[in-house]
Every structure is written in structure tokens, then in C-alpha cells.
Amino acid sequence: MTDLSVLDYLRRELAGTLEPGDRTHLRHPTAISRLLGFRVTGIGPGFAEVRVTADPDAHGNQQGTVHGGFLVELADAAIGTAHSTLVEAGESFTSVDIRAVFLRPVWGGPLTATARPAHRGRTITHYACEIQRADGKPAAMVTSTVMTLRGDQATGR
């Protein structure tokens, strides 16, 4: 078995070069990402691109558009994936807040969430994430604050 950093693990996963024993200290993909069909399509230090095909029959609200909570979950997945590339073995992290501004409706189709740090600190990192529709127009802008946990705070997380 090979213990990899999250960044190396995800790079290998995207390249299709993961070996059967390769692993990392955090779970990838997360259970919620598997359930919702999210897939990582781009990765770098503090950066992640996550895509999904939204279906109003599965992800819709009363108006027939894709539910805002689904968009926030997509952004949270991109932000969490981006931050996971910065944490080391023995560390974990938690969201402190998340805020979404919805710019235009999503009726369905491919969505791409791109997350990067707006400011990176030792413990607190602020992220910005844009969700784009298939036509290239932004559907939502999401910001989040993430706290890196170390020592006893990270134990068991």
C-alpha cells in the first residue's frame, strides 16, 4: 500500500494511474459526492474543479429549476476538495461558513464548480467558487471559510 498526499492521489485518479493499494488519509470521493454524481475534473494545490449533470427531475425545486441547495452542495464539494489538497496527514478541516449568491436559474445540464482560495492562512482559508452552466454563464457564486484542524482537534475526524 502506498500512502499519498490528497493532491497526489487525486492527480493519479484523474490520470487513471491509481494503483490498487494507493490511498490517502481523507476519503475520496466522499459519500455525498458519489450519491449526487459529482466528479473531480481538475485539481491543483488549493484548486478543484467538480462537474455534475443536473437533472431537474432529480435535483429540482417547485419551480422546475435545479434546487439552490444542490448548487451549494456542488460548491461545497469543490471547496472541500480544493482544501483537502492543502491538508497533511494528521490534519483535517471543517467549514466555518458558506454563502451563496444565485445569479441565474439552472434548468438542467452540465454544471462546473471551480474553487480556489481567495486568501490562504495557516488555520483559516477563504474560498471563492463559481458555478458555471453549460452556456458558460455563471449560475452562482459561493464563498466559504474553512478551518484546518490539527492535533487533538483533528483526531477522529
- Global pTM value: 0.96
Q: How far, in Å, CA of 71 to CA of 107, rounded?
A: 12
Q: Average of pLDDT values for 63-74?
A: 97
**Domain 2-153 -> CATH class:** alpha beta
Output the CA torsion sign for 109, 37, 101, 48.
negative
Q: How far, in Å, CA of 78 to CA of 84, rounded?
A: 10
Mean pLDDT of all residues in the chain? Answer: 96
Cell of 105: 436559474
Cell of 73: 452542495
87-102 pLDDT tens trace? 999 999 999 999 999 9
Q: Where are the domains of the chain?
A: 2-153
Question: Are the C-beta atoms of residues 128 and 141 closer than 8 Å to each other?
Answer: yes
Please say if the pLDDT value at position 39 is more than 70: yes
DSSP tag of 136: S
Residue with cell 431537474: 56
